[in-house]
Amino acid sequence: MNNKFEPVIKWSGSKRLQAYEIKSYFPEFNMYFEPFIGGGSMLYTIDNEGVAGDICEPLIGLWNIIKNNPQELIEYYEREWNRLQDEGHEVYYDIRTRFNKDFDPKDLLFLSRTCVNGLIRFNQDGEFNNSFHHSRKGINPKRLEKIINIWSSRIQNKEFIHGDYRETTATAKEGDFVYLDPPYFNTKGRYFGKIDYDEFIQFLYDLKSRNIKYALSYDGIRGEENFIVDIPEDLYERHILIESGNSSFKKVMDKSKEKVLESLYLSW
């Protein structure tokens, strides 16, 4: 398979550029579990049957539409994209208002493909709050159609669950594998929801007690700043730093470039 692929939905913290490098560290396993699905970049690389989850309900709704009814999504996006070209940026804000009222998964896809730099942002009430990208038209519907159909074919053997990381991995057992890409400890406020560090660490101990192998992507180094979090050493066998390009958030907010190295903890 070609190691380059395009995202179907852009999501903060995407692992698309590092996906196959990260996968190269994975062991052999039976079922795959990914409880922080986001943009699904790691999921794209996995052939095994699997379970993916997230606490963002419209995101899980979107993944189920991509899997089960891609044509509905394709037709929706083309219709609203054409409306945007004909009527202007007010269409974007109408759809954003609609999404923040009804949380329609299809609206989430549209917003992710037409907002500033594709940066998904939610406020504390779970409302989408990024602005329209005036200098871009949004991805062309014909191009997006191809992407949606490719992704739909890749995820037919995956189940998508609306729930937290504990619910998503409840049925995991020895021989299965869990990949974890939670909201990073030092990037609060830009992701949907948050997790408690102590509860998450206890969850890792629970996976260990069940003899379930896992990989954890987490804070690393950005520029001259070290954001590596104190993960108990008995929870991992290896700590690897993966090159992740430059910080897109810093580029947008400060017009600066900072090289990013992200942590990858392997439990075996």
Residue whose tokens read 């392997």: 266
For residue range 127-148, list pLDDT tens digits in order.
Answer: 999 999 999 999 999 999 999 9
Residue whose tokens read 């206890």: 202
Q: What is the DSSP letter of 237?
A: S
Q: Sign (positive/negative) of CA torsion 161, 162, 167, 169?
A: positive
pLDDT at 125 over 70: yes
Q: Sign (positive/negative) of CA torsion 148, 150, 153, 155?
A: negative
Mean pLDDT of 221-225: 93
Report the half-sphere exposure of 18 (CA within 13 A, side-chain side). Answer: 19
For residue range 171-208, list pLDDT tens digits in order.
Answer: 999 999 999 999 988 765 444 567 899 999 999 999 99
Q: Are 70 and 152 in contact (CB under 8 A)?
A: yes
| pLDDT for position 192 | 57
Count Cβ atoms within 10 A of the Cβ of residue 121 and give its class: 0-12 exposed, 13-18 middle, 19 or more buried.
middle
Q: Cβ contacts of residue 201 below 8 Å, gap of 6+?
A: 231, 232, 235
Determine the Cα angle at 242 with ends 236 and 245, to 5°.
Answer: 155
The full length of the chain comes to 268
CA distances from 196 to 142, 165, 169, 184, 199 (A): 41, 12, 17, 11, 5
Mean pLDDT of 225-244: 95
Q: Nearest 5°: phi and psi at 121?
A: -135, 135
